[in-house]
Amino acid sequence: MPMNKRMNLTLLAAALVALAVAAGATASSKGTSLSLVAYSTPKPVMAKLIQAWQKTPDGSGVSFTQSYGPSTNQAKAVAAGQPADLVFLSTGDDVNLLVDAGLVNQNWNRQSYDGIAADTVVVFAVRDGNPKHIKSWADLIKPGVQVVTPNPFSSGSAKWNILAAYGAQRRLGKTDKQATAYVQQLFSHVVSQDSSGSNATNTFLSGKGDVLITYESEAINANLQGKNIQYVIPRQTMLIQLPIAVLKNSKNADAANQFIRFVKSVPSQETLVQYGFRPVNPTVAKEAATIKKFPARPGIFKIDDKYIGGWRNADKVWFASGSGRMVKIEQAVSGPTSG
Amino acid sequence: MGQPLASVAQPAPAVGRLVSNTTRERAGTALSLGFVTVFLSVIVALPIAALVWSSRNDGWSGFWTAVSAPEAVAALKLTLAVAALVALTNALAGTLIAWVLVRDEFRGKSLVNGIIDLPFALPTIVAGLLVLALYGPHSPVGVHAAFTRYAIYLVLLFVTLPFVVRTVQPVLYELDTQMEEAARSLGARELTIFTRIVFPSILPGILSGVAMAFARAIGEIGAIVILSGNLPYKTEVASVYVFNLSQSGNGTAAAAVAVVLLAISFAVLLAVGGIRRLATRYERA
Amino acid sequence: MLKKYAVRFAALGYLLVVLLGPLSMLFWRVYVEGAGKAWTALTDPDTIHAFKVTLELVAIAVPLNTLFGIVVALAIVRRRFLGKGLLNAFVDLPLALSPVVVGLSLYLLYGRTGWFGPWFSGHGIQVLFALPSMVLATIFVSVPFVAREVVPTLREIGDEQEQAAHTLGASGWQTFWRITLPSIRWAVIYGVIVTTARCLGEYGAVAIVSGSIQGKTETATLRVQEEYENLNLAGSYGISLVLAAIAIIVLILMTTLRPKEGVS
């Protein structure tokens, strides 16, 4: 009996080791592998683009690992050592975080299209039929309106929402103080601040809030997945520019750069349009399909607008930990003061 | 004795201990202790030490700031309150269920007994998802409590169900019913029998189960992360708060609050050990 | 008489609401979300990889903790030494400790500014956001279970047989293999089952150290959360169904192998 037991235990141990080795062997990649770290919502379109690229000579044989999450948290994870070859984040602010950590070249935004892969705009997602008639920023602060927007200390989407809210007020003639007061009033209507844009979408879809401030691309993405979200583009809204950049220490920088060029090429930009993103490639922007899909808004302004002053300035004024305006506003409304 | 909740720290009876102390004995002891020490150091002690050390990266003032931040205080308060409520509910329900499983007889009892352990076997993320399905926006029973404190309470009840049941059951089973029979024959009421005879005997079992349920409720993350809705001050519990801080690069602040949770865990373990020693003091005398 | 029924129905009613209510949602939600969509999600390469990662973690953590559990149980019950109380505390600690605290402690130890982080990254070894840290986290949270099963059994059976073997000239190794191990085998097996269940279900600690990199450092439980975040509820429920099926098998094993006591 003991001999059999010993043999059985040995066989069991051997089987376990074999299993572990087999699992490990299949898990290890052969050939070039690119690590993509991205913000929370573009997973479906990235899957499509990666597939398409892998059919080209440049991309054949290249495997991908992907990680999606709240843009700022993702940037911090990469800064803390999460392996990455390229990042596709939702704000230039988060890429600057990596520049400051020495991981991204400070010329990243001198690449084609200023280092941007795609655009979108800030929109209001509303309930079926828009029962509270939400069309403009002023409607958001009407009594009883409940707003869903993510946590600005972890999510890139949240930052865009706040700057869009502020910028819209400024462009309507309000002073800096008045516009900041508006943002505070807006946040007193906020009923949920999830960590990421996609979590906020989930919260809104699960029944919370009257309006979700989100990316146009995310609303379209939800609709493509059958969720049926109605959305409104306010007259004054912000152009969301989504940056893509290679990491300095990437061992596959060439492949990563090739993929980025691919993302900015005409066929990829057309795919991005299908998935709800506004293209950066001017050829695609002029196509009939694009114009039909994306209503123009004369009131669209960008991050470099004089009232916002670019990401470095916006970060210092609004999102700096401890001293940013959002810290004070969140404290006033009992919201999160960190990611 | 298949008691998954029996602590390793039981008082040692005289039986089972080798008395001789030969050189080979000492070598064996050294070898096994060496292995155990290295293993526990690498796996448990060093990470915990790093945690405690990191919590002081910004000095004592930094530690205090992190722990006394309004959001942290709110999260800890909510955590302790919900965990206390969960522990209390388990004390009552768990004792009730253990009683029925030991003293009652009905068809399907062994099935019921088996299913008690399900929360041990089921991944907590699945538990959270199922509670969301039951009490979320598509609730079949019309209860829409997801993303509220009630949802946290309910899912923690699910997760901590086995604790008190499994600590009370063995004690009830071992209980000699002669005293109860005697009391009954002398005319005592059922309630009196329970409070005067049964309850004192099972109290240590209840208390240790409650302590473990409390510790579990304080630390739970997987079941809560989907339901929590991230509403600071409203539905954010301490574990989610620490999780969020860790994800946003605030390792030091996270460590500070985590040290508080660690201290609570240690306190619970001490309490359980103390209860056990108290309960078996007559056996050891 | 009535009281007996009242007590019984109170207990069973509680179980129905708290336990069976949520459980019953599983099949229903898979049905509502679409079994086809759930199947698609289950056969997604990233999901299959997530299950593989979970299996890998189990395959490494369970044998190690079994070995540790037996050795430490023997040491606690059969040996004399100082510091047993401290040893007990460390072995039991993972039972009372939040997985978030576990994950964070590993994150701080092996991170860029941690004690060990620079050494490992200097030698090109990725610990965080890769399998090694996930293994460490899984082992940490499942340390106590085998020990806690074996200790009471060892205490109960005593060491007369070992002593007899010793006087008959058996070596320590022979005594262990032929007498000690067989006597504790059911406690070990039960402990292995409970440890496996714990490793399968781990979420918080692994979530912090792994970075949830799809196709690389995602486990099945992390995948459930990922699918939920990606608005793919069918996927979430599908994976949950598989995990629940495994849990029920574990539960059956636990019930049949647990020594029959506590139920009259």
Q: Tell me the nearest-neighbour CA distance from A114 into chain B, angstroms.
A: 27
The pLDDT score that the predictor gives to residue B229 is 58
The pLDDT score that the predictor gives to residue B20 is 54
Q: Mean pLDDT check: name the lowest of B72-86, B205-219, C249-263.
A: C249-263
Choose the closest CB to C111 out of A27, A80, A227: A80
Partners of residue A35 on adjacent β-strands: A65
pLDDT band at A28 (very low <50, low <70, confident <90, very high): very low
Choose the closest CB to A154 out of B71, B144, B248: B248
The pLDDT score that the predictor gives to residue B16 is 45
pLDDT band at B94 (very low <50, low <70, confident <90, very high): very high
User: Is the separation of the CB atoms in B50 and C105 below 8 Å?
Assistant: yes
pLDDT band at A10 (very low <50, low <70, confident <90, very high): low
pLDDT over threshold 90, residue B279: no
Partners of residue A192 on adjacent β-strands: A148
Choose the closest CB to B230 out of A192, A331, A337: A192
Q: Tell me the nearest-neighbour CA distance from C213 into chain B, angstroms.
A: 14
Q: Tell me the nearest-neighbour CA distance from C160 into chain B, angstroms.
A: 8
Q: Tell me the nearest-neighbour CA distance from B72 into chain A, angstroms.
A: 10
CB-based contacts of A235, cutoff 8 Å, min separation 6: A136, A297, A298, A299
The pLDDT score that the predictor gives to residue B180 is 83
The full set of domain ranges for chain B reads 22-54, 59-284
- State pLDDT tens for residues A29-56: 457 899 999 998 999 999 999 999 999 9
Q: Is A108 helix (H, G, I), strand (E, B) or coil?
A: helix
CA distance C95 to B9: 13
CA distance C196 to C217: 19
Q: Cβ of A73 and B249 within 8 Å?
A: yes
A201 touches chain C (CB under 8 A): yes
CA distance C180 to C159: 9
The pLDDT score that the predictor gives to residue A243 is 97
Window 126-185 of C, Cβ < 8 Å to B: 136, 139-140, 143-145, 147-149, 151-159, 162-163, 172
CA distance C182 to C152: 15
User: Is the separation of the CB atoms in C201 and B124 below 8 Å?
Assistant: yes
A300-314, B221-235, C70-84 — which one is most confidently predicted on average?
Answer: A300-314
Q: Mean pLDDT check: name the lowest of A97-111, B189-203, B270-284, C97-111.
A: B270-284
Partners of chain C (3+ Cβ pairs below 8 A): A, B
- State pLDDT tens for residues B117-158: 999 999 999 999 998 888 877 778 877 776 778 889 999 999
The pLDDT score that the predictor gives to residue A219 is 95
B16 touches chain C (CB under 8 A): yes
- State pLDDT tens for residues C55-91: 999 999 999 999 999 999 999 988 888 888 889 889 9
B8 touches chain C (CB under 8 A): yes
Q: Cβ of B230 and A336 within 8 Å?
A: yes
pLDDT band at A15 (very low <50, low <70, confident <90, very high): low
- Minimal Cα distance from B111: which residue of C? C255
Amino acid at A8: N
| Average pLDDT of the residues in C199-213 | 92
pLDDT over threshold 70, residue A180: yes
pLDDT band at C264 (very low <50, low <70, confident <90, very high): very low
| Average pLDDT of the residues in B187-196 | 81
CA distance C63 to A16: 9
Q: Tell me the nearest-neighbour CA distance from B90 into chain C, angstroms.
A: 11
Q: Tell me the nearest-neighbour CA distance from C95 into chain A, angstroms.
A: 26
The pLDDT score that the predictor gives to residue C35 is 83
pLDDT over threshold 90, residue A205: no
The pLDDT score that the predictor gives to residue B226 is 83
**Maximum distance among all alpha carbons in chain C?**
73
Q: Give the long-range contacts of residues A177-181, CB within 8 A, separation 24 or more.
A: A179/A307, A180/A325, A180/A329
Q: Which of A188, A135, A116, A190 is nearest to A158 (CA)?
A: A190
Q: What is the mean pLDDT of chain C?
A: 89
Window 188-207 of B, Cβ < 8 Å to C: 190
Choose the closest CB to B121 out of C79, C207, C250: C250
pLDDT band at C147 (very low <50, low <70, confident <90, very high): very high
In order of their start, the domains of chain C are 1-32 (no CATH), 34-257 (1.10.3720.10)
Q: What is the mean pLDDT of chain A?
A: 88
pLDDT over threshold 70, residue A22: no
Choose the closest CB to C22 out of B10, B28, B158: B158
C229 touches chain A (CB under 8 A): yes
Q: Mean pLDDT check: name the lowest of A132-146, C60-74, C207-221.
A: C207-221
For A245, phi then psi, to 5°, come to: -150, 155
User: Is the separation of the CB atoms in C54 and C239 below 8 Å?
Assistant: no
B231 touches chain C (CB under 8 A): no
pLDDT band at C48 (very low <50, low <70, confident <90, very high): very high
Choose the closest CB to B248 out of A192, A194, A339: A339
pLDDT band at B5 (very low <50, low <70, confident <90, very high): very low
User: Residue B284 is encoded by which pair of tokens?
Assistant: 């050891």
| Average pLDDT of the residues in C33-52 | 89
In order of their start, the domains of chain A are 33-118+241-293 (3.40.190.10), 119-239+298-332 (3.40.190.10)
| Average pLDDT of the residues in B168-178 | 88
Q: Cβ of B249 and A334 within 8 Å?
A: no
Torsion angle (degrees, nearest 10) of CA B22, B27, B29, B34: 170
Number of Cβ within a 10 Å radius of residue B221: 27
pLDDT over threshold 60, residue A231: yes
- Note the residue count of chain B: 285
Q: Which of A159, A190, A154 is nearest to A325 (CA)?
A: A159
pLDDT band at C176 (very low <50, low <70, confident <90, very high): confident
C254 touches chain B (CB under 8 A): yes
| Average pLDDT of the residues in A171-182 | 94
For testing contact with chain C, the best of A8, A63, A82 (most C CBs within 10 A): A82
User: Residue C116 is encoded by which pair of tokens?
Assistant: 């060990």
pLDDT over threshold 60, residue C122: yes
User: Which residues of A are less than 8 Å from B147 in CB distance?
Assistant: 192, 203, 206, 208
User: Which residues of A are less than 8 Å from C126 in CB distance?
Assistant: 83
User: Residue B90 is encoded by which pair of tokens?
Assistant: 């388990």
C125 touches chain A (CB under 8 A): no
pLDDT over threshold 50, residue A198: yes
Q: Looking at the domain B59-284, which fold is it?
A: MetI-like fold (1.10.3720)
The pLDDT score that the predictor gives to residue A1 is 40
